[in-house]
Each structure stands twice: as C-alpha cells, then as structure tokens.
Amino acid sequence: MLHNIAYVTPVLGAIRLGHMEERNGKRLPQKDDFFSITGLHKEVGQWVPDPLQKATLEQQSETADQKLRAIPVRVLYADPELNSSERYEAYDIEKKRLVCAGDGKNAKRIEDNGTISEIPCPGDAYCEFGRHNRCGIFGRALFQIAGQTDQMGAYILRTASYNAVNTLRSKLVGLNALFGDRLPFVPLKLVMRTKSSPLSMNTPFYYPDLELDGDIVELAKQAEVQRQKMVDAGLDRSAFESKMKTLRNNGPFEDPSEIFEDREEFLGATEIVIKGEGSELSTTSQDGSTSNGAKTVRTTPFPRKTKLQQALALHDISAIYAVPGQPGAAEISSLSHGTHPN
C-alpha cells in the first residue's frame, strides 16, 4: 500500500443539487430545487444522468413536474465519520487543486515547494491565507441508493451549504446513537427541505435532509434481523469499517481523485473566451492564456470576503439566486461572488 494517499470508498456517481449553465460567455453555477443523480462523465459539457435517476423518478409517479425531491437511500457504514465529512477547504483556482484543509483547530497545507505542513486552523473567517484562497466549509456525504448493484460503492453528495452540512451531520450522528451497528440496515430517505430566514430576505432556499423511511420501532426490529443474518454468515462489519477508516486516513487529504469538474460548481463563475474555431476546450489560468489558442475557460478571481458576505454565505443567502422567479436574485447572488451553496 502506498503511503500519503487516502484510499476512499469507491464512488459510483454523484447526487447533485445544482448544475452549470453557460450564459453570455460565462459558465455560472445554478442551484436546483431538486436532486439529480449523475454518472462520473460528461457529454456536451453536462454530467450524464445515472440510470438510477430514471428508475427513482418512475417510482415517484405522483411527482407531476418530474423533479426528484426524495431518494430512497441507506448508509454504507454505521460510523458517521465514514459516511460524511466536512472541513474548511481552500482551493487554488489557477492550479485547480486543494491547497489547505482544516477542521477549525488544525490544518494541512501544501506549501509552494510542494511540501505539506501542519498548522493551526482558525477557520475561514479568521485566516489570511483562507481569505486569499476562497476558503470555506465543504462537506461530502456517501449514500447507497435503492436499486444500485455494487454493494461496496456509494454515491457522493458534495455541498458548500452550512445548512446541509449541519443537518446531515446531526442526523447521521443521532441515527448512529439510536441504531448503533444496525444503522446500515435502516432504510432512509434523502429529501429536499425549503427554508428562509431574515438574512435571505425571507426568500426560500433549498438544502438536503435525511428522514427515516418508516416507523422507527419497526425499522429497528427489521435492522436487527438483518444484522444478525450478517453475523450468522460470518461477516465482520466492525473489522470492515475499521479497515476502511485506516485506508481513508492514509493520506493528508481525503479524496485526491476529485478533479476540477467535481468542484467547479462550488468555486464560482468561469468565463469562456472564444479564440478560434474547431479546437478543443481547454481550462487555463486566470490570465486567460492557453497553449492551443482555442476556447479558453477563465475562472473569475475571488475578492476577499467582507463580514457581511461571510454572514450571507453562512445562512445560504446565495442559494436564492437559483429559485426561479424570485425578485432581486441577481443582485443578492453577486454578494456571494457566484458561489454554489448546495
């Protein structure tokens, strides 16, 4: 096994809460009021829907507008630390890589010479390096979707929303306390919640939440039956989770396989400059330079956040720019620099 590499749970696809749109020469993140289940590749610049997207929608035929607002899921692990994670993360736009990650107490940072240093982490609002490198809360959660065939893989939900991170972490920790090692056998539902607050000017925004898919007592009884079947078959889930945690903690950063496209919708608008015809699309640095002289994708640089902007981001006010028909959405979204709050 290689050292300094985090071996993570195999990802089968993604559960997304938004998408990128091209408008007036810019690629802009757009928040959705529904879920999308996608694969791991793109066609014509958009993530390809996973077959489970159609299958799950067909099971919810009562949804008149054909929008996926609930997904039947389970968790792969009993340990909430394996099912979800959240950190402060700073991202280098030009190099398109994660450069610092911390938990509010300690952080690991990639220095200019390529070495990794361990430093104190005061959080995104009080870190000079973080203010210059667009540091913010970023969360990941893993779910198994009803109907998937790979029993060892999961779908990942990425989010930069405080409400999503807070809700999912609270639910997973609470469910773990209630069900213990039976939690992976408990059917859940990933649902879309609507919320508003004074800081969002009482305009609704959306974030994911977890619900039990049935009566809690009956679910506990059924989960115990399934757990006992695993024990009788000689399967050791405790050893499984222990090994998976060791693999994940083997590297300084959780998921080195994430590419720029996985993070683009959370990093703000990108500007597309047409320089030629018939050439490939290339992603370049902020100065717009490109080696083939063709299409250039230029990521908009991020100014330092003010106290007001930090407060707005914390309360997901930037989410309202994607709510169709809401007045003032464009003006308010500019306060968050076009970030995708998910």
Model pLDDT for residues 52-93, shown as the tens digit of each residue: 999 999 887 665 578 899 999 999 999 999 999 999 999 887
Examine the pLDDT at 116 and tell me if it is beyond 50. yes
**Strand 154-159 and strand 11-23: pairing?**
parallel
Kindly report the average pLDDT of the chain as a whole number.
Answer: 78
Q: Please, which pLDDT band fits residue 201 given cuts at 50, 70 and 90?
A: confident
Examine the pLDDT at 232 and tell me if it is beyond 90. yes
Amino acid at position 15, single letter: I
What is the domain count for the chain? 1
State how far the Cα of 7 lies from the Cα of 244, in Å rounded to an integer: 8
Examine the pLDDT at 34 and tell me if it is beyond 50. yes
Examine the pLDDT at 213 and tell me if it is beyond 50. yes
Structural contact between residues 296 and 53, judged by C-beta atoms closer than 8 angstroms: no
Give the Å distances, CA to CA, from 83 to 101, 147, 244, 279, 305: 18, 19, 11, 41, 31
State how far the Cα of 257 lies from the Cα of 11, in Å rounded to an integer: 10
Examine the pLDDT at 234 and tell me if it is beyond 70. yes
In a domain, 303, yes or no: no
Question: In the predicted model, what is the mean pLDDT of residues 175-204?
Answer: 92
Instruction: Please state, as a whole number, how many other Cβ atoms lie within 10 Å of the Cβ of residue 134.
Output: 22
Contacts of 29 (CB under 8 A, 6+ apart): 18, 19, 20, 264, 265, 266, 268, 269, 338, 339, 340
Examine the pLDDT at 127 and tell me if it is beyond 70. yes
In a domain, 27, yes or no: yes
In a domain, 110, yes or no: yes
Question: In the predicted model, what is the mean pLDDT of residues 126-134?
Answer: 89
Domain of residue 98 covers: 11-265
State the pTM of this model.
Answer: 0.78
Query: Could you tell me where the DSSP H helices lie in 32-98?
Result: 51-58, 80-83
pLDDT of res. 323: 40
In a domain, 78, yes or no: yes
pLDDT of res. 101: 92
pLDDT of res. 342: 45
In a domain, 277, yes or no: no
Examine the pLDDT at 302 and tell me if it is beyond 50. no
Tokens for 142, please give them. 């893993």
pLDDT of res. 179: 97
Torsion of CA 310, 313, 315, 316, to 10 degrees: 170
In a domain, 332, yes or no: no
Question: In the predicted model, what is the mean pLDDT of residues 117-129?
Answer: 92
213 three-class SS? coil
In a domain, 272, yes or no: no
In a domain, 273, yes or no: no
pLDDT of res. 255: 63
Residue of 162, 180, 157, 224 lying closest to 77 (CA atoms): 180
pLDDT of res. 5: 86
**DSSP 3-state percent helix, strand, coil across the chain (nearest 5):** 30, 30, 35
Tokens for 97, please give them. 């890589």
Examine the pLDDT at 250 and tell me if it is beyond 50. yes
| Torsion region of 285: left, alpha or beta (phi above 0 gives left; psi -120 to 50 gives alpha) | beta
Counting beta carbons within 10 angstroms of the beta carbon of residue 4, is it exposed (0 to 12), middle (13 to 18) or buried (19 or more)? exposed
Give the Å distances, CA to CA, from 70 to 63, 263, 304, 339: 10, 24, 37, 25
Examine the pLDDT at 253 and tell me if it is beyond 80. no
